[in-house]
Structure 1
Amino acid sequence: MMARRASWLAGLVAAQLWLIVAVRGRFVVEKSSVRVLAPEHIRGHHDAAIGNFGVPDYGGTLTGVVIYPDKKATGCAEFDTKFKSKSRRPVILLLDRGECYFALKAWNAQRAGAAAVLIADSVDEQLLTMDSPEASPGTEYIDKINIPSALVNRAFGESLKKMTRTVAGDGDGDGEEVVVKLDWRESMPHPDERVEYELWTNSNDECGARCDEQMEFVRGFRGHAQLLERGGYARFTPHYITWYCPEAFRLTQQCKSQCINHGRCVRSPGCENAPAAARACVASVADRRRRWWVSGRYCAPDPEQDFGAGYDGKDVVVENLRQLCVHRVANESGRPWTWWDYVMDYKIRCSMKEKKYSKTCAEDVVTALGLDLKKVLECMGDPEADAENAVLSKEQEDQIGSGSRGDVTILPTLVINNVQYRGKLERTAVLKAVCAGFKEGTEPRVCLSPDIETNQCLHRNGGCWRDEATNVTACRDTYRGRVCECPVVNGVRYEGDGYTDCQAVGPGRCALNNGGCWSETRGHQTFSACSETALSGCRCPPGFHGDGHKCEDLNECSEKLACTCPDCHCKNTWGNYECTCKGNQLYIRGEDVCIANSMSKLGWFITLVAVACVAGVGIAGYVFYKYRLRSYMDSEIMSIMSQYMPLDNQNNENQPLRQHDSEALRH
């Protein structure tokens, strides 16, 4: 039974791989640049294939010294000592290919103090991607690898070995150090202000270490992903891989239990000319180019690897389909980030590994997240129908590489800006790679968190301009490094080269450290070289001289700029001057002259009397005006009141008339 199952699974995977490689197979090797800086005569650029483990420093660089060990050059055994360079630069360990896993070489290099590892190919061939081995006892080190790794071709590796004297332990070799710069800045495309990335995954959580790795990544990265998508900085799309059941196995119990949408071989016109493999219907969506294909056939391996127990592969396919539709419906409702919540809640509430999965459980999660269950079901269609499923067929088409992206052949696979990510699937490592996909200077704040980025502005202000008084700086931190740009602070714009000079310009500039101009206060007096009427520049105020950044009091007396008349006496003050005249003369400041003060005591008395008379006439006029106004108001009021009530004299005039009328009535 076990042998048959293993044989069938091997055949299933082999069929899929045949289709990918033979029909349209294309695996893209993601590369970084290796630049030799020293010795001078071997300087140049070379390509290196990024390893699919460890943490490539996307968006960054690493300059270090290449060391080739004289013992254990394959790196398959633990080194006995730590490697150090004479110049104290980071060590980039060069190792030979062969005898053990690539990842084990990197792990031993990391434990020996290497900051990165280069593995020299042993044969002349095209560069290939170094993959990590399948999880098994003894490979627990894979998740602990935190340094970048790359494969270089044999010729370049041999050149490095020749130039590198054998250095072991303390790095006391007698040769010139070979200095190289590993550069990942262009390994990740960064064309604009939004990153598009996708994760090829699977809803099965019983595949061992790989499944655990995926779920740990979703759990750790969910917050970052939702921040990026809520802010419009990124667009995330989940994808799910499905396999195909060969025609020869279509009616077997294995195929029926592992696949949905069972169908038949459908021939299009012209299929009769297809090759024998095509006529056998071992096909995929990619084969439509040859005008033959199989309707349906969406399969997944049995979760427990036991066809007689637990869940079936078709349960995994159905859940894959549901999760795809959850994302589609959430995206239509303007909440695409809800997919991350669904996957986490599904793992907690409906785990296949914990035997909690059921259709009802999964649908309850959909409803709990406020998604339209009816729309999700409509998107999923009927998994039992003898027809093609549009959603899963689209997934199979997308699985095939296009442009700069190769075919997706392994799980999990992360694709960022149409380039397959290389490195371990871990929160910090992936966030670094995603952030490297933003156009320089447009990274959101999440990309500048301390755990993934070193703020170059903290060291000597990044070499940029800085105003010590206000701590205003031209250094701006970005994911790819600092930039020196004059800032805008509290609405005040600075202009300059950003490195040595920045000047505040525009309205309001004087409110911010006096626009960078001179200012000084003595006692209750304050003078500033910044003028609100001037939109830029500094100019010393009247009474001072200087360049506007430093102003000194101008001595008008010694400079003969004021108080120059013969009878004048000048006294300089801070920012001003005082001028007095001899005798009883008066100083006229505008004319800078002294005039005689000839008024006698009688003149002063007459002047005072005249002023008093004028004041008296004014007061009398005011009193008369108030009296006339009051009289006028009283008469107006009496006139108005007489219209509504009789007055006393009116009562007296009418009284006799009323008596006469009484007498007349009595007779």
Structure 2
Amino acid sequence: MARRAPWLAGLVAVQLLLIVAVRGRFVVEKSSVRVLAPEHIRGHHDAAIGNFGVPDYGGTLTGVVIYPDKKSTGCVEFDTKFKAKSRRPVILLLDRGECFFALKAWNAQRAGAAAVLIADNVDEQLLTMDSPEASPGTEYIDKINIPSALVNRAFGESLKKMAQKVAAGDASGGEEVIVKLDWRESMPHPDERVEYELWTNSNDECGARCDEQMEFVRGFRGHAQLLERGGYARFTPHYITWYCPEAFRLTQQCKSQCINHGRYCAPDPEQDFGRGYDGKDVVVENLRQLCVHRVANESGHPWTWWDYVMDYKIRCSMKEKKYTKTCAEDVVNALGLDLKKVLECMGDPEADAENAVLSKEQQDQIGSGSRGDVTILPTLVINNVQYRGKLERTAVLKAMCAGFKEGTEPRVCLSPDMETNQCLHRNGGCWRDEATNVTACRDTFRGRVCECPSVNGVRYEGDGYTDCQAVGPGRCALNHGGCWSETRGQQTFSACSEHALTGCRCPPGFHGDGHKCEDLDECREKLACTCPDCHCKNTWGNYECKCKGNQLYIRGEDVCIANSMSKLGWLITLVAVACVAGVGIAGYVFYKYRLRSYMDSEIMSIMSQYMPLDSQNNENQPLRQHDSEALR
């Protein structure tokens, strides 16, 4: 029985999956491809987003389409790196067929492509390119970091022809094939809150898929709790279950994989009914985790679900044989949740009746609106659109941030983790001051923006693309506010004035527009030192003026005056000084001997009226009796 068990488990799992797939509803998530050049093939086209790599949700990518003349399927590694003549990013166009879609994207990434378009080889509706199941030789899947998309056959053929003409030099004017990939409308962003759900499983023995989702929970937990605490997002966990056909409900397979008499089932974790845990153990724990979220939500702390799932993974692992009810309830109690409410929510797994929580999960599993059926794990749905791409912390956060109405994104969306690094390439086409390395380019999760910055309290104003000017107090401290400045020897002149909040003006002694100033020759221009007895000599930023003979130059009046006095003049000056000194001495003597003695007598007279004199012997009178007693 043990040897046949894996085959039987697989058979039942396939049967259960077929029951869901018969009425399946699949939705292909799309991005837009806009051809910018050559002009005669301009237009908009749809492309199906690949379910691997990192789609640039909320952003765009403009690049040059290159179609390789060899290895056009991309199934083997390319010998060279692809580069565009215009230095734009390369969008590699490949043919469908012969290998996995993901392998084509991986080889394109290693060949220097920024994105990959795969042209369909049959006339059909667009489909979602999925990644293969983890197996030896598919380790590259987690390393794919570029976006990919499938385009229809007709559009792919037209791109190929134009790209081949460019490569052969036959295109008019040698014009490259330039397209713009646009993911801005791939993620709905109706309001200021994002609603998202994760379809997952408590089973930790399902290989690479389980490892991927637990790694995501571990890495994304902090972001998820921050977003929900701030009211920016609402998260709902979901768990896939199947039901066992009524004809099989009494079989050992259904009994071991299902609860509530075959109504809710999950595959055997080890795919072996003879050992380890059963599928029904997984269903019960899935139900418990759903109820943990419900109880936590009722208490106003829905983000506790992330803590429970992470703690349960660490403390109650299947691999360590701790995947038990007792361990789970210990985690519930440790997190301060009401265990009684959790048990009431779960109900009786052995009852021959429907479970309200799991029945709703089966209903939610069926697609509606813009979302298709959920058939694989893990599946992330954001604003009712299935997320496509790598289930990785930064990639998912970027997709979620694209789900906010533009301008309402929380701070976490503007963190360094979300930068697109577009500013690293030619400064993103934005303004930059080479002297101070101040730039108007700023990376965001939606792509780079060109906005004049604020640096060290100094604000810049301008269009951000070609010009930014420092304004306000302190602007001259940063490269002289972008104005002209020059130093020669110990002298420095600047066209930036601390007294002006904007603009540049050449300082006195210079002329120009403030961004370029040249020395003004006051002597040649007759602007100074023009008196008859003056001799003018120009200097950098100034001038020197000397007078003939022993004369002095008065700069303010631009005149020369005599610099000598007669003997009579000196005599008069000495007499005047002596007179002033005599008056001062006489005043001092008068104050000391007459005025001071008079004032002293007046002061003594006034004081005698209010204070007893020594002759009255008042100082010898004893203290009052009660005063002396108070001191004892």
Q: Does the CA-based 8 Å contact 2:419-2:443 persist in structure 1?
A: no
Note closer, same or farther for the CA distance 1:379–1:576 as it changes in structure 2 (3 Å cut): farther
1:253-275 CA distance string (max 9 Å, x none): 8767655678xxxxxxxxxxxxx
Q: Does the CA-based 8 Å contact 1:464-1:475 persist in structure 2?
A: yes
Return the offset for 1:408: 2.3
1:232-256 CA distance string (max 9 Å, x none): 7766543323344667777888767
1:414 alignment partner, SS class: strand
1:177-220 CA distance string (max 9 Å, x none): 97766554543445677755432111122333322332233344
Note closer, same or farther for the CA distance 1:186–1:650 as it changes in structure 2 (3 Å cut): same
Q: Does the CA-based 8 Å contact 2:5-2:272 persist in structure 1?
A: no
1:650 aligns with 2:622: no
1:506 match: 472
Note closer, same or farther for the CA distance 1:95–1:614 as it changes in structure 2 (3 Å cut): closer
TM-score (norm 2): 0.73
Note closer, same or farther for the CA distance 1:176–1:654 as it changes in structure 2 (3 Å cut): closer
Q: Does the CA-based 8 Å contact 1:329-1:376 persist in structure 2?
A: yes
Q: Does the CA-based 8 Å contact 2:32-2:44 persist in structure 1?
A: yes
1:521-559 CA distance string (max 9 Å, x none): 556655432223322111123333221123333333332
Return the offset for 1:29: 0.5
1:482 alignment partner, SS class: strand
Q: Does the CA-based 8 Å contact 1:12-1:245 persist in structure 2?
A: no
Q: Does the CA-based 8 Å contact 1:19-1:25 persist in structure 2?
A: no
1:585-619 CA distance string (max 9 Å, x none): 66555444456689644444444544555466557
Q: Does the CA-based 8 Å contact 1:546-1:552 persist in structure 2?
A: yes
Return the offset for 1:337: 5.3
Higher mean Cα deviation, 396-405 or 228-237?
228-237
Q: Does the CA-based 8 Å contact 1:440-1:480 persist in structure 2?
A: no
Q: Does the CA-based 8 Å contact 2:195-2:234 persist in structure 1?
A: yes
C-alpha distance in 1 between matches for 2:585 and 2:349: 107
Q: Does the CA-based 8 Å contact 2:418-2:444 persist in structure 1?
A: no
Higher mean Cα deviation, 317-326 or 495-504?
317-326
1:467 aligns with 2:433: yes
1:305 alignment partner, SS class: coil
TM-score (norm 1): 0.70
Return the offset for 1:411: 1.5
Higher mean Cα deviation, 145-154 or 87-96?
87-96
Q: Does the CA-based 8 Å contact 1:443-1:479 persist in structure 2?
A: no
Q: Does the CA-based 8 Å contact 2:16-2:242 persist in structure 1?
A: no
Note closer, same or farther for the CA distance 1:654–1:540 as it changes in structure 2 (3 Å cut): closer
Return the offset for 1:399: 3.6
1:146-181 CA distance string (max 9 Å, x none): 6655443344456567778799999999x9997766
Return the offset for 1:462: 3.0
Q: Does the CA-based 8 Å contact 1:441-1:478 persist in structure 2?
A: no
C-alpha distance in 2 between matches for 1:532 and 1:433: 46
1:136 match: 135
Return the offset for 1:455: 2.5
1:210 aligns with 2:209: yes
Q: Does the CA-based 8 Å contact 1:200-1:413 persist in structure 2?
A: yes
Higher mean Cα deviation, 437-446 or 635-644?
635-644
C-alpha distance in 2 between matches for 1:158 and 1:659: 125
Note closer, same or farther for the CA distance 1:572–1:160 as it changes in structure 2 (3 Å cut): closer
2:288 match: 322
Note closer, same or farther for the CA distance 1:558–1:516 as it changes in structure 2 (3 Å cut): same
Describe how 1:34-45 pairs up with structure 2 within 5 A.
34-35=33-34, 42-45=41-44
Return the offset for 1:356: 0.5
1:65 match: 64
C-alpha distance in 2 between matches for 1:228 and 1:628: 91
Long gaps (5+) in structure 2 = none
Note closer, same or farther for the CA distance 1:581–1:70 as it changes in structure 2 (3 Å cut): closer
Note closer, same or farther for the CA distance 1:619–1:342 as it changes in structure 2 (3 Å cut): farther
1:182 aligns with 2:181: yes
Q: Does the CA-based 8 Å contact 1:188-1:437 persist in structure 2?
A: yes
C-alpha distance in 1 between matches for 2:437 and 2:73: 53
Q: Does the CA-based 8 Å contact 2:9-2:268 persist in structure 1?
A: no
Note closer, same or farther for the CA distance 1:191–1:254 as it changes in structure 2 (3 Å cut): same
Note closer, same or farther for the CA distance 1:635–1:385 as it changes in structure 2 (3 Å cut): farther
1:450-485 CA distance string (max 9 Å, x none): 998662333433333222222212222234443332
Note closer, same or farther for the CA distance 1:191–1:604 as it changes in structure 2 (3 Å cut): farther
C-alpha distance in 2 between matches for 1:468 and 1:662: 88
Note closer, same or farther for the CA distance 1:424–1:22 as it changes in structure 2 (3 Å cut): closer
1:32-87 CA distance string (max 9 Å, x none): 33455677765544323223244445456667787889999888899999999999
Describe how 1:127-526 pairs up with structure 2 within 5 A.
127-135=126-134, 143=142, 148-156=147-155, 183-189=182-188, 196-222=195-221, 236-244=235-243, 298-305=264-271, 310-327=276-293, 338-369=304-335, 392=358, 395-396=361-362, 398-427=364-393, 429-430=395-396, 433-434=399-400, 437=403, 455-521=421-487, 526=492
2:82 match: 83
Q: Does the CA-based 8 Å contact 2:5-2:273 persist in structure 1?
A: no
Long gaps (5+) in structure 1 = 263-295
C-alpha distance in 2 between matches for 1:636 and 1:8: 129
Describe how 1:627-646 pairs up with structure 2 within 5 A.
none
Q: Does the CA-based 8 Å contact 1:351-1:357 persist in structure 2?
A: yes
Note closer, same or farther for the CA distance 1:543–1:660 as it changes in structure 2 (3 Å cut): closer
Return the offset for 1:565: 3.4
Q: Does the CA-based 8 Å contact 1:516-1:549 persist in structure 2?
A: yes
Higher mean Cα deviation, 467-476 or 313-322?
313-322
1:657 alignment partner, SS class: coil
C-alpha distance in 2 between matches for 1:336 and 1:659: 83
Return the offset for 1:504: 1.1
Higher mean Cα deviation, 555-564 or 598-607?
598-607
C-alpha distance in 2 between matches for 1:473 and 1:99: 47
Note closer, same or farther for the CA distance 1:549–1:311 as it changes in structure 2 (3 Å cut): same
Note closer, same or farther for the CA distance 1:6–1:33 as it changes in structure 2 (3 Å cut): farther
Return the offset for 1:90: 8.5
Q: Does the CA-based 8 Å contact 2:9-2:267 persist in structure 1?
A: no
2:615 alignment partner, SS class: helix
Q: Does the CA-based 8 Å contact 1:16-1:244 persist in structure 2?
A: no
Note closer, same or farther for the CA distance 1:201–1:641 as it changes in structure 2 (3 Å cut): farther
Q: Does the CA-based 8 Å contact 1:259-1:297 persist in structure 2?
A: yes
C-alpha distance in 1 between matches for 2:420 and 2:545: 63
Q: Does the CA-based 8 Å contact 2:454-2:460 persist in structure 1?
A: yes
Note closer, same or farther for the CA distance 1:632–1:408 as it changes in structure 2 (3 Å cut): farther
Higher mean Cα deviation, 462-471 or 33-42?
33-42
Q: Does the CA-based 8 Å contact 2:16-2:243 persist in structure 1?
A: no
Q: Does the CA-based 8 Å contact 1:20-1:407 persist in structure 2?
A: no
Note closer, same or farther for the CA distance 1:488–1:428 as it changes in structure 2 (3 Å cut): closer
Note closer, same or farther for the CA distance 1:232–1:573 as it changes in structure 2 (3 Å cut): farther
Return the offset for 1:620: 6.6
How many residues are matched? 631
1:325-379 CA distance string (max 9 Å, x none): 5456666778765544432321121013432022332233344456666776676
Return the offset for 1:308: 6.8
1:397-431 CA distance string (max 9 Å, x none): 54444443333232111123432122343456545
Backbone CA RMSD of aligned residues: 6.9
C-alpha distance in 1 between matches for 2:105 and 2:95: 11
Q: Does the CA-based 8 Å contact 1:519-1:526 persist in structure 2?
A: yes
Return the offset for 1:28: 1.4
Note closer, same or farther for the CA distance 1:6–1:524 as it changes in structure 2 (3 Å cut): same
1:537 alignment partner, SS class: coil
Note closer, same or farther for the CA distance 1:535–1:611 as it changes in structure 2 (3 Å cut): same
Q: Does the CA-based 8 Å contact 1:261-1:383 persist in structure 2?
A: yes
Identity of aligned residues (%): 95
C-alpha distance in 1 between matches for 2:431 and 2:460: 11
Note closer, same or farther for the CA distance 1:562–1:390 as it changes in structure 2 (3 Å cut): farther
1:503 alignment partner, SS class: strand
Note closer, same or farther for the CA distance 1:530–1:164 as it changes in structure 2 (3 Å cut): closer
Q: Does the CA-based 8 Å contact 1:13-1:243 persist in structure 2?
A: no
Note closer, same or farther for the CA distance 1:318–1:520 as it changes in structure 2 (3 Å cut): same
Higher mean Cα deviation, 310-319 or 135-144?
135-144
Return the offset for 1:561: 2.3
